[in-house]
Structure 1
Amino acid sequence: MLSLSYAAPGCCALYGLLSRLGPALNDRLPLEGVQVELLPLETGERKRGVASSGLLLTTTVDRDGRLLFPAVSPGRYTLLLHLPVGDLVIEDLQIDV
Protein backbone atom coordinates (compact mmCIF):
# COMPACT_ATOMS: atom_id res chain seq x y z
CA MET A 1 0.00 0.00 0.00
CA LEU A 2 1.30 3.48 -0.89
CA SER A 3 -0.12 6.82 0.22
CA LEU A 4 0.76 10.48 -0.44
CA SER A 5 0.54 13.37 2.00
CA TYR A 6 1.42 17.02 1.40
CA ALA A 7 4.69 17.78 3.21
CA ALA A 8 5.44 21.33 2.02
CA PRO A 9 4.50 23.52 -0.94
CA GLY A 10 5.39 21.58 -4.10
CA CYS A 11 6.42 18.51 -2.14
CA CYS A 12 4.83 15.30 -0.86
CA ALA A 13 5.61 12.62 1.67
CA LEU A 14 5.27 9.08 0.31
CA TYR A 15 4.23 6.49 2.90
CA GLY A 16 4.01 2.75 2.40
CA LEU A 17 3.19 -0.45 4.25
CA LEU A 18 4.93 -3.62 3.15
CA SER A 19 3.99 -7.11 4.33
CA ARG A 20 4.00 -10.67 3.04
CA LEU A 21 2.15 -13.87 3.73
CA GLY A 22 3.94 -15.94 6.36
CA PRO A 23 4.02 -19.71 6.81
CA ALA A 24 0.50 -19.77 8.27
CA LEU A 25 -2.45 -18.74 6.10
CA ASN A 26 -3.21 -15.02 6.50
CA ASP A 27 -0.23 -14.54 8.84
CA ARG A 28 1.37 -11.28 7.72
CA LEU A 29 5.05 -10.78 8.50
CA PRO A 30 6.73 -7.39 8.09
CA LEU A 31 9.88 -7.18 6.02
CA GLU A 32 12.05 -5.18 8.41
CA GLY A 33 15.28 -3.88 6.93
CA VAL A 34 14.29 -4.11 3.25
CA GLN A 35 16.04 -1.36 1.28
CA VAL A 36 13.77 0.78 -0.92
CA GLU A 37 14.85 3.19 -3.66
CA LEU A 38 12.84 5.85 -5.48
CA LEU A 39 14.44 6.79 -8.81
CA PRO A 40 13.19 9.84 -10.73
CA LEU A 41 12.54 9.22 -14.44
CA GLU A 42 13.52 11.52 -17.28
CA THR A 43 10.68 13.42 -18.90
CA GLY A 44 10.23 13.85 -22.61
CA GLU A 45 9.42 11.44 -25.38
CA ARG A 46 13.02 10.46 -26.20
CA LYS A 47 13.89 9.51 -22.62
CA ARG A 48 10.57 8.04 -21.57
CA GLY A 49 11.01 5.41 -18.86
CA VAL A 50 14.74 6.02 -18.41
CA ALA A 51 16.09 6.69 -14.93
CA SER A 52 17.48 10.20 -14.67
CA SER A 53 20.78 11.24 -13.18
CA GLY A 54 18.75 13.15 -10.57
CA LEU A 55 18.61 12.50 -6.88
CA LEU A 56 18.06 8.89 -5.83
CA LEU A 57 15.93 8.67 -2.69
CA THR A 58 16.44 5.72 -0.34
CA THR A 59 14.80 4.41 2.81
CA THR A 60 14.52 1.21 4.86
CA VAL A 61 11.38 -0.66 5.91
CA ASP A 62 10.96 -0.46 9.70
CA ARG A 63 9.97 -3.30 12.07
CA ASP A 64 6.26 -2.62 11.49
CA GLY A 65 6.62 -2.83 7.69
CA ARG A 66 6.40 0.93 7.14
CA LEU A 67 8.45 2.96 4.69
CA LEU A 68 8.66 6.73 4.32
CA PHE A 69 10.09 9.14 1.79
CA PRO A 70 9.52 12.47 3.62
CA ALA A 71 10.15 14.88 0.73
CA VAL A 72 9.26 13.81 -2.82
CA SER A 73 8.89 16.29 -5.67
CA PRO A 74 6.16 15.79 -8.28
CA GLY A 75 7.15 13.64 -11.23
CA ARG A 76 7.47 10.10 -12.54
CA TYR A 77 9.46 7.53 -10.58
CA THR A 78 10.50 3.91 -10.41
CA LEU A 79 10.15 2.32 -6.96
CA LEU A 80 12.62 -0.49 -6.30
CA LEU A 81 12.29 -2.83 -3.30
CA HIS A 82 15.26 -5.10 -2.56
CA LEU A 83 13.37 -8.11 -1.15
CA PRO A 84 15.13 -11.21 0.26
CA VAL A 85 13.91 -13.29 -2.72
CA GLY A 86 14.76 -10.68 -5.39
CA ASP A 87 13.96 -7.14 -6.44
CA LEU A 88 10.41 -5.87 -6.92
CA VAL A 89 10.12 -2.99 -9.39
CA ILE A 90 7.12 -0.65 -9.64
CA GLU A 91 7.53 1.33 -12.85
CA ASP A 92 6.12 4.68 -13.92
CA LEU A 93 4.85 5.74 -10.49
CA GLN A 94 3.29 9.19 -11.03
CA ILE A 95 3.40 11.62 -8.10
CA ASP A 96 1.35 14.80 -8.41
CA VAL A 97 0.92 17.60 -5.89
Structure 2
Amino acid sequence: RTSGSPVLTESKDFSTILFDADCNQLGVVGYLLYHLASSRLGVRAIARARYPDDINPGDAFICNDPHNMGAAHQGDVGIIMPIFYDLGGVETLV
Protein backbone atom coordinates (compact mmCIF):
# COMPACT_ATOMS: atom_id res chain seq x y z
CA ARG A 1 0.00 0.00 0.00
CA THR A 2 1.39 3.37 -1.00
CA SER A 3 -0.63 5.60 1.31
CA GLY A 4 -3.91 5.99 3.14
CA SER A 5 -4.22 9.62 2.06
CA PRO A 6 -7.39 10.47 0.10
CA VAL A 7 -5.14 12.31 -2.37
CA LEU A 8 -3.91 8.89 -3.48
CA THR A 9 -6.79 6.58 -2.59
CA GLU A 10 -9.62 8.75 -3.94
CA SER A 11 -8.17 11.18 -6.50
CA LYS A 12 -5.49 8.78 -7.80
CA ASP A 13 -2.85 11.53 -7.93
CA PHE A 14 0.08 9.19 -8.64
CA SER A 15 1.73 7.35 -11.52
CA THR A 16 4.47 4.83 -12.16
CA ILE A 17 6.50 5.42 -15.31
CA LEU A 18 9.33 3.34 -16.77
CA PHE A 19 12.15 5.03 -18.72
CA ASP A 20 15.13 3.62 -20.59
CA ALA A 21 18.73 4.82 -20.14
CA ASP A 22 18.16 7.54 -22.78
CA CYS A 23 15.21 8.99 -20.80
CA ASN A 24 12.62 7.66 -23.25
CA GLN A 25 9.32 6.61 -21.68
CA LEU A 26 8.68 2.89 -22.11
CA GLY A 27 5.44 2.48 -20.19
CA VAL A 28 3.11 4.11 -17.70
CA VAL A 29 0.54 3.08 -15.14
CA GLY A 30 -1.38 5.98 -13.71
CA TYR A 31 -4.35 8.27 -13.84
CA LEU A 32 -3.05 11.77 -14.61
CA LEU A 33 -1.67 12.47 -18.07
CA TYR A 34 0.25 15.47 -16.71
CA HIS A 35 2.64 13.03 -15.03
CA LEU A 36 3.76 11.77 -18.47
CA ALA A 37 5.38 15.10 -19.27
CA SER A 38 6.44 16.23 -15.82
CA SER A 39 8.13 12.96 -14.86
CA ARG A 40 10.47 13.19 -17.82
CA LEU A 41 11.86 16.50 -16.51
CA GLY A 42 12.81 14.94 -13.17
CA VAL A 43 14.39 11.88 -14.77
CA ARG A 44 16.39 14.05 -17.17
CA ALA A 45 17.56 16.35 -14.36
CA ILE A 46 18.85 13.39 -12.34
CA ALA A 47 20.47 11.84 -15.42
CA ARG A 48 22.25 15.11 -16.28
CA ALA A 49 23.52 15.54 -12.74
CA ARG A 50 24.49 11.93 -11.95
CA TYR A 51 24.62 9.58 -14.97
CA PRO A 52 26.74 7.57 -15.67
CA ASP A 53 29.32 8.01 -12.90
CA ASP A 54 27.17 8.55 -9.82
CA ILE A 55 24.12 6.28 -10.21
CA ASN A 56 24.37 2.85 -8.62
CA PRO A 57 22.09 -0.12 -7.91
CA GLY A 58 19.97 0.62 -4.85
CA ASP A 59 19.99 4.42 -5.32
CA ALA A 60 16.76 6.40 -5.04
CA PHE A 61 16.36 10.11 -5.77
CA ILE A 62 13.55 12.26 -4.36
CA CYS A 63 12.55 15.25 -6.49
CA ASN A 64 10.08 18.01 -5.68
CA ASP A 65 11.55 21.09 -7.37
CA PRO A 66 8.68 22.71 -9.31
CA HIS A 67 11.11 24.78 -11.39
CA ASN A 68 13.63 22.20 -12.61
CA MET A 69 12.34 18.71 -11.88
CA GLY A 70 8.80 18.64 -13.23
CA ALA A 71 6.78 18.98 -10.03
CA ALA A 72 3.55 20.91 -10.62
CA HIS A 73 3.95 22.50 -7.20
CA GLN A 74 6.24 22.04 -4.22
CA GLY A 75 3.92 19.45 -2.66
CA ASP A 76 4.51 17.07 -5.58
CA VAL A 77 7.17 14.45 -4.96
CA GLY A 78 8.82 12.17 -7.50
CA ILE A 79 10.90 9.17 -6.52
CA ILE A 80 13.34 8.04 -9.20
CA MET A 81 14.94 4.62 -8.82
CA PRO A 82 17.34 3.16 -11.41
CA ILE A 83 17.04 -0.46 -12.49
CA PHE A 84 20.22 -2.18 -13.65
CA TYR A 85 20.34 -5.40 -15.61
CA ASP A 86 23.04 -7.45 -17.31
CA LEU A 87 22.65 -7.49 -21.08
CA GLY A 88 25.18 -9.99 -22.38
CA GLY A 89 27.93 -8.93 -20.01
CA VAL A 90 27.20 -5.20 -20.31
CA GLU A 91 25.43 -3.60 -17.36
CA THR A 92 22.60 -1.43 -18.65
CA LEU A 93 20.43 1.16 -16.93
CA VAL A 94 16.65 1.26 -17.39
Q: So what's the TM-score if we normalise by structure 1? A: 0.30
State TM-score, norm by structure 2.
0.31
Q: Bigger relative contact order, structure 1 or 2, given CA contacts below 8 A and separation 6+?
A: 1
